[in-house]
A and B are shown apart, each in its own frame.
Chain A
Amino acid sequence: AQTVTQSQPEMSVQEAETVTLSCTYDTSESDYYLFWYKQPPSRQMILVIRQEAYKQQNATENRFSVNFQKAAKSFSLKISDSQLGDAAMYFCAYRSPYFGNEKLTFGTGTRLTIIP
């Protein structure tokens, strides 16, 4: 079974600064997907970024980028130029690649606070 670990229950960053959220995972599969989800106080789960394991290039979405280290099974999220709207819970998640098995395994989350 796959496991996902987020070792930082809480993080804080000054507005406009950069912050990195950590995620490690354990799997015996060679191909898979990794995700970062944002959950603001509204409770909605919002996809931030997605990474396919067979792609060596790190995914980027505007101010959000990942550092994907497949051998180390590490998948960190970097948020540049932090904004007040980035304050939320962030969840790292793993998914197997097989059709009909799109179950997500989540980490326990990191609560990000933005300091004005």
Chain B
Amino acid sequence: NAGVTQTPKFQVLKTGQSMTLQCAQDMNHNSMYWYRQDPGMGLRLIYYSASEGTTDKGEVPNGYNVSRLNKREFSLRLESAAPSQTSVYFCASASSYGYTFGSGTRLTVV
């Protein structure tokens, strides 16, 4: 089925560890996004990529880096995880009509 695939679905990290969240879409969308969801705060934009080869900061970029590897793939990296990065992370791709979201990654940093 066409859509957005995120891996992993769950992850527990120790403070200071690094990891990369992977995202791939087969919608042929130009733009891709990373959001984090925290209780009582809705979804907040971390980084986005309007097209292959470009990335820009969103509302809450500190502590994260991204790579738009090609049109399909957009990864999010935590270089040194902190407890404040405990959250649910969503990847999405978009066209002018609408969004397609991945199923989310629940990340816990202990």
Contact = CB atoms under 8 A, between A and B. Distances in A.
B98 A47 contact: yes
A107 B51 contact: no
A103 interface: yes
A25 interface: no
Main secondary structure of the interface of A (DSSP, over half): loop
Interface residues of A, number: 22
Size category of the B interface is 20 to 34
B45 A103 contact: yes
Contacts of A42: 103
Contacts of A50: 98
A43 B103 contact: yes
Contact of B42 (A35, A99, A103, A106): A106
A9 B42 CA distance: 11
Interface string B23-45: 00000001101010000111111
B103 A106 contact: no
Contacts of B107: none
Interface string A30-69: 0000010000001111010010000000000000000000
6 contacts: A43-B88, A45-B90, A45-B99, A45-B101, A102-B31, A102-B95
Interface of A: 4, 6, 9, 35, 42-45, 47, 50, 91, 99-109
**Which 3 A-B residue pairings sit nearest by Cβ, starting from the closest?**
A106-B42, A45-B101, A102-B94
